Copies of this chain bind each other. A is one copy, B any other.
Amino acid sequence: MSDAADVHFLLDGMASRYIILADGRRVLLGFLLPGDFCDLHPQLAPVFAHPIISISACSVAHYPRRALAAWRGEFPALATALERWCLVDGAITRRWLTNMAIPAEYRLAHLLCELRTRLAQVGQADEASFPLFLTQQEMGEAIAISTVHINRSLQHLKELGLVRVMNHRVFIPDLARLESFVGFDSAYLEPGGGAFSRNSSAAADSPIQG
């Protein structure tokens, strides 16, 4: 079907970039949501490619690389879109890295905030809930936490009344409270957005700022 020389673009579903460690463990390096380019980078350097798995059923569009390269000159808007995605992708990765310094429970809450915001950007989430087809094991692989500990962290978030989960859907009774709990600021996900965040006052004990 699709050629290795194509560029892929996720239309629907959820996928993830990953890497396998020597001991067999898998590390998820990011999630791809509808609208994201799957493999932009490899056009310059195949060696950078990370394999991708689908998390839920996905539909994908693919364009010949050559055409894409040509379009970049012809349609500046496309070039901007590509660059924009590179930037957001990089910002997300740096945020994940930043979050490795905060405790498991916060990292999990942050992941949920991030996914909700990104899904909302593509019309698949609102303030109160969003679909999530990750297993707890996959969540663990994404934020470098054992499955057992994910389970306990999630339970604690539930006990705190910050989230609820029902058949593959996360419910958030009070989004502002959840976001303030982790000090979540969506600025890094909104390159077009203003330079100032809405979420200006995080809780005094929330682990992130900046």
Contact = CB atoms under 8 A, between A and B. Distances in A.
Interface of A: 19-23, 25, 27, 29-30, 41, 44-48, 50, 80, 83-84, 86-87, 89-91, 93-94, 96-98, 100-102, 144, 183, 187-188, 190-195, 202, 205-210
Contact of A21 (B29, B83, B101, B192): B101
Given A93-B94, A195-B46, A210-B19, A101 B41 contact: no
A142 to B, nearest CB: 10
Contacts of A41: 87, 90
Nearest to A73: B73
A18 to B, nearest CB: 9
Task: Kindly report how many copies of this chain are found in the complex they form together.
Answer: 2
A126 B76 CA distance: 43
Contacts of A89: 90
Given A50-B94, A98-B29, A21 B188 contact: no
29 contacts: A20-B210, A21-B98, A21-B101, A21-B102, A21-B209, A22-B209, A23-B207, A25-B101, A27-B101, A29-B94, A29-B97, A30-B94, A44-B80, A44-B83, A44-B87, A45-B84, A45-B87, A45-B191, A45-B192, A47-B188, A47-B194, A48-B90, A48-B188, A48-B191, A86-B90, A89-B90, A93-B94, A97-B100, A100-B100
